[in-house]
Amino acid sequence: MSEIHDLLVLPYLNHAVRMYEADYASRADIDAAMRFGCGYPEGPLTVIDRIGLDVVRDRLAARFEQTGDHLHQPADLLEKLVAEGRTGVAAGRGFYTYADGAVAADEETPSADDAPQLRHDIATVGVVGTGTMASGIVEVFAKAGYDVVVVGRSDDKLAGVVKGIEKSLDRAIEKGRLDAAAKEQVLGRLTGSTSREALADVDLVVEAIAEDLAVKTELFGDLDRICKPGAILATTTSSLPIGDCAAATKRPEWVIGMHFFNPAPVMKLVEVVTTEQTLPEVDETTKALCAEVGKVAVSCGDRAGFIVNCLLFPYLNDAVTLSESGVALDEIDAAIKAEANFPMGPFQLLDVVGNDVSLAIQEELLKEFGEPGFEPAATLRDKVAAGELGRKTKKGFHDYS
């Protein structure tokens, strides 16, 4: 089991170090992203500190000697910190600083005064879309006290959003988390429309439509025409460039990514993605708004995969490649749950996410980074070609019929 752990988890940890090394995201945001986006008990940099940077470095070096794969070569920062004696919890300093085994404040620890503030008033939120993600986002904002304007293609689609939210609220009532009066207040904050013009006076628009760049850019061009000056235009895309959406407008500085995780009412994470043109006050307001609605916001730049997908999907792809060598799926899943304490094994997770989604993201990562090790596994391509996409088709790496 420990060998499977090292084969799959060590490269994931190495990727996280390189992400931090490149100053793409802070150590706290990298760790929070994997904890709240994937349900991992610890973030990758915290894991390395616990295991020991020298131990992780040595195990990676041994793996690199076997494979020659650049992705297994210990990150330069890992080598540097080990040389400085920053080997983790036992040494009192690794990626974090420790006192008596607990994380202590240091020069990278943000102060309470650094907490994001709402630099713009947000009273009314617009959501474009009626699918699962859009409906979840509508529920998040309405439950937090915001008036929400939902724009969909038909009255039936809009009615479906309301019905879905009603069911969710009824479940909360059954569990004693909500009462009937609060349910009516939430539903009373919803306004549906089949016309985008209804978004003219909203303070923030969240786009949650199909992952098709042409469709999204057309929408952003229209939002630019419709929405009032000072309205923040956000996209929930998980894989497409935020900058391309921004370029479709005459106000690119007001465009930002808000990548919610599914199901939005349950998952705590939102990746807040800025382009080089995004105004700092727009970034700060968006992060403060996430806190207002009970979410954990992490910051990152506009590149494929953001934080979570960039770290998660190469690990899933490596698991498929490992299975091609003859290691049983159940053995891999069991080893990862036992050794890494992840809530699901890679094949369980692939079937939940969808093999088509996994393949599309892995292809985007290959295109973005050009790493030969990011080439999608042949079995993953075969599953998608056969229509075996996971739970949604009743068959993926496991059979659910």
Give the active site residues. 238, 259, 271, 309
Burial 149-182 (b: 16+ CB within 10 A, else e): bbbbeeeebbeebbebbeebbeebeeeeebeeee
CA distance 103 to 138: 37
Check residue 58 and report its DSSP letter: H
205, 231 in Cβ contact below 8 A?
A: yes
Closest CA to 74 of 148, 3, 16, 135: 16
**Centroid of chain to Cα 183:** 29
Q: Residue 274 pairs with which residues in a beta bridge?
A: 301
Closest CA to 273 of 302, 311, 238: 302
Burial 323-340 (b: 16+ CB within 10 A, else e): beeeeebeebbebbbebb
- CB neighbours of residue 84 within 10 Å: 11
